[in-house]
Structure 1
Amino acid sequence: MGSMRIFARIIAFMAALSLAATPATAQSILRDAESEALFQDMIDPLAEAAGLQPGAVEIVLINDPSINAFVAGGQRIYIHSGLINAADSANQVQGVMAHELGHIMGGHIISTRDGISKASNITILSMLLGAAAALAGSGEAGMGMMMMGQQAAMGSFLAFSRTQEASADAAGAEYLSKAHITGKGSLEFFKKLQNREFRYGYSQNDEAGFARTHPLSGDRITRLRQDYEKDPAWNTAPDPDLQRRFERIKAKLYGYLAEPSATLRSYPEYMDSVPARYARAYAYHKDAQIDKALAETKALLQKNPDDPYFLELEGQVLLESGRPKEALAPLREATHLTGNTPLIASTFGHALIATEDRANFSEAEQVLRAAVARDRENPFAWYQLGIVYASEGDMPRARLASAEQQIMSNRPAQALQSAEVAEQGLPTGSPDWLRAQDIAMQARAELEQRSKRK
């Protein structure tokens, strides 16, 4: 009974995270270890071609059905889930990344969203696999919107001036060339969007149309083709491993966001490919068909028993089905195989806590502390760490963990209160005490900005 109470509290928290974002102010950030690893491998050669170090540019996936990508300052590229859903290949997405990198290197900073780098909802895709309330809040409805977004090609894809666009086009072509990556995918994707523009009748004057914000004239595409076709990399075959991984994460994303019935139509049971099984596992789990979900994960593991993401999926299905003890083995192995990747380690820590076996709490604390040390932008991990601290009677650090989670979840009033309580109980001058002060200052600043906007 006690373990189910803690498990219920965690599920309730996940639902609250999913429902926290309001479309008018911020989209939710979708976080998944496998997807982030792929995106990093896709952008790194382009970043190196631009003179940056590997890992210097970060790709952030936004839960938004429109076909969109943008930069908003710093070295982050924001890509909407609708763009991944619309793309046919990893090479096409790399073309978009190269273009956006051109905006970063050219100093073209524009954002139509207030504070997108502090989006009010960070959704851990692999951690919310079976949380029905969370999925109802941002998943099923989101996929319906995604399909409409695909058809209409709405949004503000790469919304910059013609001069900046031309500059980004040229820079993107240069980065692709230096990285020995063909520009065919880039051209295919821009042509795909131009076809949508024609099909749905958007003009340069449409308020919300793609054409207005990112005009894809025939002349512009012709210039791109001329640049790409004369490049030595034009006939270089795209990386087959990147394409294989892209097909996996595209199906995974679809299975996570779509209604189960839509997923099963797109990936019917006779399809036995890895992407199909991946998508169906999510659909079955969301539909509370746990045996079928586990059958899909078992089939995936039979193909590759050491795939950490298949192990993560198996552990996640078990965990979210109320079987945390059974989830420990696959999640522990997935954590080990990925070198303690923070997102997977956080899921493992979640499972350790959900057993409510106090013998597991010490390991959970170690795992979660390591996870937040490497990735502080993980409110779910902070919440779990707060549970561990509270169980040990360390309430100041429990409140500090709550403050970390609340400030990232766009709840500055609660964050301020938690930080002030934490500060009073922490040793003066300690790193945690200083961090509590920082959060309190940030929260006050955000509250002041809100009051000025009223």
Structure 2
Amino acid sequence: MRILTRSPHSLLARLLALLAALTLTVQPAMAQGFSVLRDAETEALLQDMVDPLAEAAGLGEGAVEIVLINDPSINAFVAGGQRIFVHSGLINAADNANEVQGVLAHELGHITGGHINRFSEGAGNASRITLLSALLAVGAALAGGGEAAMGVLAAGQQAAMGSFLAFSRTQEASADAAGAQYLSDAGISGRGSIAFFEKLQSYEFRRNISQDNDREYSRTHPLSGNRIARLREDYEADPAWNTPSDPRLEERFQRAKAKLYGFLAPPARTLNAFPAYMTGAPARYARAYAYHKEARVEEALAEVNALIEMDPTDPYFLELKGQILLESGHVEEALPPLREATRLTGSNPLIASILGHALIATEDPANFDEAEAVLRAAVGRDRENPFAWYQLGVVYGQRGDIPRARLASAEQQIMQGNPQGALVNAQAAENGLPTGSPDWIRAQDVALQARAILERQRDRN
């Protein structure tokens, strides 16, 4: 048998450590470590969905970027700047484009309200409360009141959390109101917004999350039922309430949703959700991906050829055909549909990257000039495209242009979170490139960026 004791001095040491930690600057949590989904068709759709809302918010067309995250949870968020991150689970849960636009309008409310920049305001208030309680607890500990010190500290932490949660709920309510105004100004119905909140409320019911108003104080967001009640009256009085959604936008959404499902879900689940008797474009899209993932090439091509028969000039159908052929080893056959898809989309960087990859995969030096031109144009329009940078590095390597191959590798690695590798390659590129050339200057820029990231990592450590 042992008797465990806690001396006032050990408690004091813990309190002083907490006190030191609280003097650090509180920063908003940023999105890290997530997997981004890139697709030309889906990105174009999401941009067309947010642009009228961004204009209504006074930000302008093209000012807000949507980033699709591979995450099954039903969520969307902003993390600084004018980017909205949307989880794939939200797309899967939404029944139509109007519901997603309701969410995008809400997130725009966070952007225009500067809520990320004001995060430190709410965190700072909470930190000050905790700091005061820690100081009082230190005083109690010095006086020998160990249990009293812990009680003061616990009460202070509870008060600080309450302060922060209240601040968060206020921001969410503000974003709800702003989003409703942007939908109205854009002439878009709020029906989707209400429907999505009802989905969230049903989810909370299924998870046995209390809907008691007395428990709202413990939440970061207002209760879904209260949000619906506050918004419904305004939405129903708005002239846009009965405005139908753009049918073409809804059609595109159903295609993109099915495409995403087919890409992410296990093939058996996809084929169960989209059985063979369903012959619309969304179902064929989903099945094409399911068959392709199972290496059932003929069946995948049958689905995509049926899509092309529906619309021979649809670039995304042609892109998918080229991708299936390329990844199935039919490289030469993949070139015509990929070239046509690239042409029809005005050299969309994502589609052009696949074309560049196919040209390299022919292993025919006669195709390398075209591959370089296509890939340089792709990274010129979309620098955040590690796949294109990798392929461009392969082209340079095949042609013996090692300095530019190292620069392309540095660009790829800086985007994939490897600053040390990026720095090594950027320095090697700089040493081999003509002094003062655009690529030489870019190598210096990448090296500076990599050093800055490494310094921040060292500071955090």
Same fold (TM over 0.5): yes
Please tell me the TM-score bracket, short chain as reference. Answer: 0.7 to 0.9
Q: Show the counterpart of 2:343.
A: 336
SS at match of 1:161: helix
Alpha-carbon distance between aligned partners in 1 of 2:403 and 2:67, rounded to the nearest angstrom: 32
Q: Which amino acid aligns with 1:320?
A: E
Matched, 1:249 2:256: yes
Which of 86, 89, 94 matches 1:82?
Answer: 89
Alpha-carbon distance between aligned partners in 2 of 1:366 and 1:25, rounded to the nearest angstrom: 33
**Mapping of residues 254-403 of structure 1, within 5 Å:** 254-403=261-410
**Mapping of residues 43-54 of structure 1, within 5 Å:** 43-54=50-61
Q: Show the counterpart of 1:173.
A: 180
Q: Show the counterpart of 1:186.
A: 193
Unpaired segments of 5 or more residues in structure 2? Answer: 1-30, 120-164
| CA deviations over 1:273-332 (Å, ceiling 9, x no partner) | 110110010000001111110111111111111110000000000000011110000000
Q: Show the counterpart of 1:109.
A: 116
Deviation at 1:25, TM superposition (A): 4.4
Q: Which amino acid aligns with 1:292?
A: E
| CA deviations over 1:129-183 (Å, ceiling 9, x no partner) | xxxxxxxxxxxxxxxxxxxxxxxxxxxxx99711111111111111101110000
Deviation at 1:204, TM superposition (A): 8.2
Q: Is the 8 A contact 2:169 2:219 kept in 1?
A: no
Unpaired segments of 5 or more residues in structure 1? Answer: 1-23, 113-157
Q: Show the counterpart of 1:134.
A: none
Alpha-carbon distance between aligned partners in 2 of 1:333 and 1:203, rounded to the nearest angstrom: 55
Alpha-carbon distance between aligned partners in 1 of 2:319 and 2:166, rounded to the nearest angstrom: 37
Q: Is the 8 A contact 1:341 1:371 kept in 2?
A: yes
Q: Which amino acid aligns with 1:318?
A: L
Alpha-carbon distance between aligned partners in 1 of 2:179 and 2:393, rounded to the nearest angstrom: 44
Question: What is the TM-score normalised by the length of structure 1?
Answer: 0.81
Distance 1:419-1:278 versus aligned 2 partners, 3 A rule: same
Distance 1:258-1:177 versus aligned 2 partners, 3 A rule: same
Q: Which moved more, 1:67-76 or 1:196-205?
A: 196-205
Which of 208, 233, 239 matches 2:240?
Answer: 233
Matched, 1:37 2:44: yes
Q: Which amino acid aligns with 1:31?
A: R
Deviation at 1:252, TM superposition (A): 0.6
Alpha-carbon distance between aligned partners in 2 of 1:280 and 1:45, rounded to the nearest angstrom: 32
Deviation at 1:74, TM superposition (A): 0.7
Larger radius of gyration: 2
Alpha-carbon distance between aligned partners in 2 of 1:298 and 1:276, rounded to the nearest angstrom: 13
Q: Show the counterpart of 1:95.
A: 102
Distance 1:347-1:217 versus aligned 2 partners, 3 A rule: closer
Q: How many residues in Structure 1 have an aligned counterpart in Structure 2?
A: 382
Q: Which amino acid aligns with 2:299?
A: K
Deviation at 1:447, TM superposition (A): 2.0
Deviation at 1:429, TM superposition (A): 2.3
SS at match of 2:188: coil
Alpha-carbon distance between aligned partners in 2 of 1:355 and 1:310, rounded to the nearest angstrom: 22
Alpha-carbon distance between aligned partners in 1 of 2:348 and 2:166, rounded to the nearest angstrom: 34
Alpha-carbon distance between aligned partners in 2 of 1:31 and 1:160, rounded to the nearest angstrom: 34
Q: Is the 8 A contact 2:173 2:222 kept in 1?
A: no
Q: Show the counterpart of 1:8.
A: none
Q: Is the 8 A contact 1:69 1:78 kept in 2?
A: yes
Distance 1:160-1:185 versus aligned 2 partners, 3 A rule: farther
| CA deviations over 1:36-92 (Å, ceiling 9, x no partner) | 000010001001111122100100001111111111111100000011011111000
SS at match of 2:86: strand
Deviation at 1:237, TM superposition (A): 0.5
Q: Name the one with the larger helix percent.
A: 2
Question: What is the TM-score normalised by the length of structure 2?
Answer: 0.80
Alpha-carbon distance between aligned partners in 1 of 2:172 and 2:340, rounded to the nearest angstrom: 46
**Mapping of residues 62-73 of structure 1, within 5 Å:** 62-73=69-80
| CA deviations over 1:78-117 (Å, ceiling 9, x no partner) | 00001101111100000000000011011011799xxxxx
Alpha-carbon distance between aligned partners in 2 of 1:51 and 1:58, rounded to the nearest angstrom: 15
Alpha-carbon distance between aligned partners in 1 of 2:437 and 2:341, rounded to the nearest angstrom: 34
Greater RCO, 1 or 2 (C-alpha within 8 Å, sep 6+): 1
Distance 1:384-1:192 versus aligned 2 partners, 3 A rule: same
Deviation at 1:272, TM superposition (A): 0.8
Deviation at 1:184, TM superposition (A): 0.2
SS at match of 1:233: helix
Q: Show the counterpart of 1:199.
A: 206
Deviation at 1:203, TM superposition (A): 4.0
Alpha-carbon distance between aligned partners in 1 of 2:117 and 2:390, rounded to the nearest angstrom: 33
Q: Is the 8 A contact 1:204 1:212 kept in 2?
A: no
Distance 1:259-1:159 versus aligned 2 partners, 3 A rule: farther
Alpha-carbon distance between aligned partners in 2 of 1:316 and 1:180, rounded to the nearest angstrom: 38
Give the % identical residues.
Answer: 72
Alpha-carbon distance between aligned partners in 2 of 1:224 and 1:443, rounded to the nearest angstrom: 46
Alpha-carbon distance between aligned partners in 1 of 2:349 and 2:452, rounded to the nearest angstrom: 29
SS at match of 2:37: strand
Q: Show the counterpart of 1:115.
A: none
Deviation at 1:446, TM superposition (A): 1.8
**Mapping of residues 93-172 of structure 1, within 5 Å:** 93-109=100-116, 161-172=168-179
Q: Is the 8 A contact 1:277 1:300 kept in 2?
A: yes
| CA deviations over 1:210-239 (Å, ceiling 9, x no partner) | x93433342321111011011010010011
Q: Is the 8 A contact 2:99 2:192 kept in 1?
A: yes
Q: Which moved more, 1:444-453 or 1:306-315?
A: 444-453
Matched, 1:220 2:227: yes
Q: Which amino acid aligns with 1:328?
A: L
Q: Which amino acid aligns with 2:232?
A: R
